[in-house]
Structure 1
Amino acid sequence: MHESGNMRYLFLIILAAATLLGGCGVWDSTTEYTKETWETTRDFVNPPPVIDTDSYQFTNPNQEKLAKLISPVDGPLTTLIRFVDDTDTMPGIDWLDLLMARFPWVDRVLVTDEEGTIIFMQPQLPVKRISKPLVFEGVWRQVRLLTVVDYSDLGPEMYIGRPYFDDVQFSGLIGVGFDPRSLMRLCPDPKALIIIHPGHNVWTLGADVDKEALLAVDWEDILKSEVQGQVKAGNRYYTWLTRYVGKDQYIYATESVDPNAEGSWWPF
């Protein structure tokens, strides 16, 4: 981290070789109870988000297909984003237990100090290790959520990072990691859904796609003025919709049913 005028910049490098805090036994002893309790009450406290796509009057079959694919995926992701974004102090065991109970597809939770050293991580020995230092960069007075994707031999791991504070003093980062392909399994037809990390990679669960062609699309230029549309990649057409996670953009896509279809129900 460094000072520049009156603006303090957050530049955290989270090291894979971390010094962990003790007290993880408390986590282990409370997780089972908390998860069981949450399972019996969550539908009352936090009803699962559902988009009734049947109630929309679709005029575009491409957008209808994409909407039905992403609604059971984007709902849980949006809920996780809100859950993490609402936390601006060092989380306690109750917060950590509740997060893992509500979002069973989350692989890892970590907390760092202001220098980026991990002071707590659950699980302590994850199956998917951090392959290289995670770099989060932002202006701490402006930033809320940041994302970093680690591409390990076992596949992508997306980290949602959020700074936390002691009073108004920046104290470190909360990181929540998950494999985006785990979320895609909630989709009614996982092989039909594509998630694009512009400039980096394409995530699928067996979809027959030309990844190089999709990455060759000039997404940086398109996203300057568009939030949805149709693109041609290789010899196929794909209908897409952008999704912000914090300040970063990712793209939901699927192969178009009818590239010549017109009409839209998107509210933009």
Structure 2
Amino acid sequence: MSTTMLSKHLIFLCALVLLLSGCSTARDVWDKTSDLYETYIDPKPTLDLQRSDGVSKKEQQLAMQFSVMDQQLELLLRSLAPQDVFPSPAWFNDMNHRFPWLTGIMAVDTQGEILARHPEAPLKLISTAPLLEKEWSIIQRGLEGYVLDTSLGPELVVAGPFFRDGLWQGLLAVHFDPRNLIDLSQEPDSLVLLTPEALLWSGPDQSSGLELLNAPWDELLKNRVQGRWLSENRVFAWISRPVGEMRLIYAVAVD
């Protein structure tokens, strides 16, 4: 993992510890963050989930699962974002090789007509229409994402623009089943993955997902990237990450 990516994950873990530590000193927070990193991201040599260090076991699992899954998502976004010209066939092949959990990769023009698609006959056919509505330009060129509901389950679509001579020519889009991302987790049954608008995964406990889907996310996400939320029945710990304007939320029930 690169130094930059490690720093990002440490910031998220530090935020999680700050949430749980109340009035702890900065030194205490750093000690707990270092312990979380050494124990759950870069274990040497074993993973001990029995340690508490002031953080519940469930929240330790959330920090670990977030780091494992989000590392792959971060690598994908970092690979897609700089590609601002129409790619060569080698680029498509490289993306498929590096991210085998993708359902497909495609390029469309400004009207949504398909210019290239890998594989040529993907398991799920997607539409980029919601993303084409954005006003793309050299200045407005960040990645955007949305959730497409299909007959085979939800599909996460992430796209960025490509240009020629400074003019917007279309979008490069990747899409994947969120369950493929969940497969990277060591404790998938305890995890809930969602956006404020759509439930992506809740394991065997469907009630957790439904409760979280009804959380006041507009308020919760206004100034925060992590926290706790108390439903009528239990407490959830959550961490979010942006994909353009979309917010992807990882959560576990802690009580």
Common fold by TM > 0.5: yes
2:155 equivalent to 1:172: no
In 1, distance between residues paired with 2:167 and 2:141? 14
1:212 match: 210
Contact 1:110 1:175 in 2 (8 A): yes
Change (3 A) 1:203 1:234: farther
2:21 match: none
Contact 1:134 1:148 in 2 (8 A): no
Letter in 1 for 2:83: T
Q: 1:119 aligns with which of 87, 90, 115?
A: 115
The aligned runs of 1:1-268 (5 Å cut-off) are 53=36, 55=38, 58-61=53-56, 62-130=58-126, 134-136=129-131, 137-140=133-136, 141-256=139-254, 259=255
In 1, distance between residues paired with 2:208 and 2:200? 9
Query: TM-score scaled by structure 1?
Result: 0.72
In 1, distance between residues paired with 2:70 and 2:144? 18
Change (3 A) 1:128 1:206: farther
Contact 1:134 1:150 in 2 (8 A): no
Contact 2:147 2:198 in 1 (8 A): no
- 5+ long unaligned stretches in structure 1: 1-42, 260-268
Change (3 A) 1:255 1:146: same
In 1, distance between residues paired with 2:55 and 2:141? 37
In 2, distance between residues paired with 1:96 and 1:72? 24
Please give the secondary structure, in 2, of the residue aligned with 1:210: helix
In 2, distance between residues paired with 1:158 and 1:202? 9
In 1, distance between residues paired with 2:200 and 2:231? 13
CA offsets 1:184-241 (integer angstroms, 9 cap, x no match):
1110111111111102224233345333321111101111122111112341211001
**RMSD over aligned Cα atoms:** 2.4
The sequence identity of aligned pairs, in percent, is 30
Q: Which moved more, 1:138-147 or 1:83-92?
A: 138-147
Letter in 2 for 1:144: G
CA offsets 1:92-136 (integer angstroms, 9 cap, x no match):
111100000000000111101122211211222222233x66411
Letter in 1 for 2:65: L
Name the structure where helix makes up a greater proportion of residues: 2
- 5+ long unaligned stretches in structure 2: 10-34, 40-51
Letter in 2 for 1:185: D
In 2, distance between residues paired with 1:180 and 1:119? 25
Contact 2:178 2:200 in 1 (8 A): no
Contact 1:193 1:253 in 2 (8 A): yes
Change (3 A) 1:133 1:225: closer
* Matched length: 211
RCO greater where, 1 or 2, for CA within 8 Å and sep 6 or more?
Answer: 1
Q: Which moved more, 1:56-65 or 1:190-199?
A: 56-65
Query: TM-score scaled by structure 2?
Result: 0.75
